[in-house]
Amino acid sequence: MNDWLERQKNLSFDDFDEAIKETIRRIKPLEKRRDEEQASERLKATYQALKKHDLTKKEPDKWGWIPKSIINDDEKRVSSQAYGLLVVLAMNATTPPIANGRKIVPRTTPTTILRWLGLTNSNRRSLIAQLLSELEDADIIKQNNDDIELLFPTMDEAKEEDNGGFVKIYVSTYQAILDKSHGIATLNRLAVYLGFRYNIFEAAKGAPNRVVWLEGGERILWVVDLSYNAANNNLNWLRENGILSWNLIQNDNKYHNKKYLMTEHFHVREMTKNLCYWLLRGSAVRVLA
C-alpha cells in the first residue's frame, strides 16, 4: 500500500478534535524528514490553524438563487456592479400568488435600492438607474413602473442539464457583506461573492460536494467583469472581514507556493476534513494559518 494511503487509513471524523490530533500524529514523520529542528513548531502551527474554526456542526441557512444560464449566456454579460445589483434584487424578490410563478421585486426604485445598500448619497440614484437599465437591456430584468420582474427560468428549468443549474446566495453571508461594507463598492463585493458561489457545488444529500474553494482569481474573472487584482482585492476583503472561513496552505511543489482555501462558515467541517486528507496525502505540506 502507498504511504499516503496507509496514512489516511481508518481516519474517522466522528470527533473532529481527535481527527485533527491523529492527523498531526500521522504527518509528524513527514515534517521531521523535511526539517527535524523546525518540525515541532510547524506541526504546532498546523494544529492551531486547523483548530481555529468553530467545528460544531451547523446547517446552512436560507438562500436566494440566480440561474447559471444568465451568467453563461454571452449575450447577457453585464458589468460587475450590475451583477452585484442583480444579487440585491434576487435576495429581495418574491413570488406573489398572482404572478404566475414570476419573481417580482415590488415597489422598488433606485432610492429603495440605495437604502438597502445603506447609502445616503442621493447622487448615486443615477448610477443605480443606469445599472437597472443595463440589466434590462440584457433581458435579465423588466421594469414595470416601480415593480421589477426578474426574467429567470423556473427553478425546475434552471436544474435542467442544458441550463447549468443555479447559484445559491446565502442570506447570512449576503447580510454580513451589507453590514460590513460601505459605499458603492458593496456591489463589486457582492459580484465577487456571486463568482465565488458560482464555483461551489452542493450536491443532494449523500452525494459528493465541492463546497471548498481554492484561491484563484481567474475563476472569478470568468463570472464578473473585474481586473485580476480587483477580483483578488475583493476576495481579500471577504476573508479579512470574516465573511467567509479560510485557511492558508503551503503546497507540495517545487515552489512551495501558498494558497487560500475559502468556504461558508457552515461548511468549515468539510474544509477541515479536506485539509487533513491533503496533509496525509502530501499534496499540502502544512497549514500556515
| End position of a domain, from candidates 154, 169, 198 | 198
pLDDT in tens, 99-154: 677 899 999 999 999 999 998 877 899 999 999 999 999 999 999 988 999 999 98
Residues 109, 39 share a domain: no
Instruction: Put the strands of the sheet holding 141-144 in their side by side order.
Output: 103-105, 147-150, 141-144
Residues 175, 156 share a domain: yes
Residues 273, 168 share a domain: no
Number of domains the chain contains: 2
Task: State the Cα angle at 183 between 151 and 263, rounded to 5°.
Answer: 70
pLDDT in tens, 213-227: 776 666 777 788 888
The whole-number pLDDT of residue 96 equals 77
Mean pLDDT, the chain, rounded, equals 89
The whole-number pLDDT of residue 211 equals 80
Residues 207, 167 share a domain: no
Q: In the 3-class helix/strand/coil scheme, how is 149-196 assigned residue by residue?
A: EECCCCHHHHHCHHHCCEEEEEHHHHHHHHHHCCCCHHHHHHHHHHHH
pLDDT in tens, 10-23: 678 889 999 999 99
pLDDT in tens, 242-257: 999 999 999 877 777 8
pLDDT in tens, 51-95: 999 999 998 999 999 999 999 999 999 999 999 999 999 999 998
Q: Which residues constitute the domain of residue 288?
A: 1-60+201-289
Which range has the worst mean pLDDT, 94-98, 152-156, 265-269? Answer: 94-98
Residues 166, 72 share a domain: yes
Contacts 24+ apart (CB under 8 A), 126-131: 127/81, 127/184, 128/85, 131/79, 131/81, 131/82, 131/85, 131/187
Residues 1, 111 share a domain: no
Residues 18, 132 share a domain: no
| End position of a domain, from candidates 198, 224, 245 | 198
The whole-number pLDDT of residue 164 equals 87
Q: Looking at residue 163, which CATH number applies to its domain?
A: 1.10.10.10
Residues 103, 44 share a domain: no
Length of the chain: 289
What is the rounded distance in angstroms from the CA atom of residue 135 to the CA atom of residue 137?
6
The whole-number pLDDT of residue 2 equals 55
Give the distance from CA 74 to its chain's centroid. 22
Q: What is the dihedral of CA 240, 244, 248, 251, to 10 degrees?
A: -140
Residues 120, 81 share a domain: yes
Residue 1 reports pLDDT greater than 50? no
More confident residue, 17 or 163: 17
The whole-number pLDDT of residue 3 equals 62
Residues 99, 6 share a domain: no
Query: Where does the pLDDT of residue 39 fall: very low under 50, low under 70, confident under 90, or very high at 90 and above?
Result: very high
pTM: 0.92
Residues 191, 72 share a domain: yes
| End position of a domain, from candidates 153, 173, 198 | 198
pLDDT in tens, 181-209: 988 999 999 999 999 999 888 866 654 56
The whole-number pLDDT of residue 87 equals 98
Residue 4 reports pLDDT greater than 60? no
Residues 217, 166 share a domain: no
The whole-number pLDDT of residue 161 equals 74
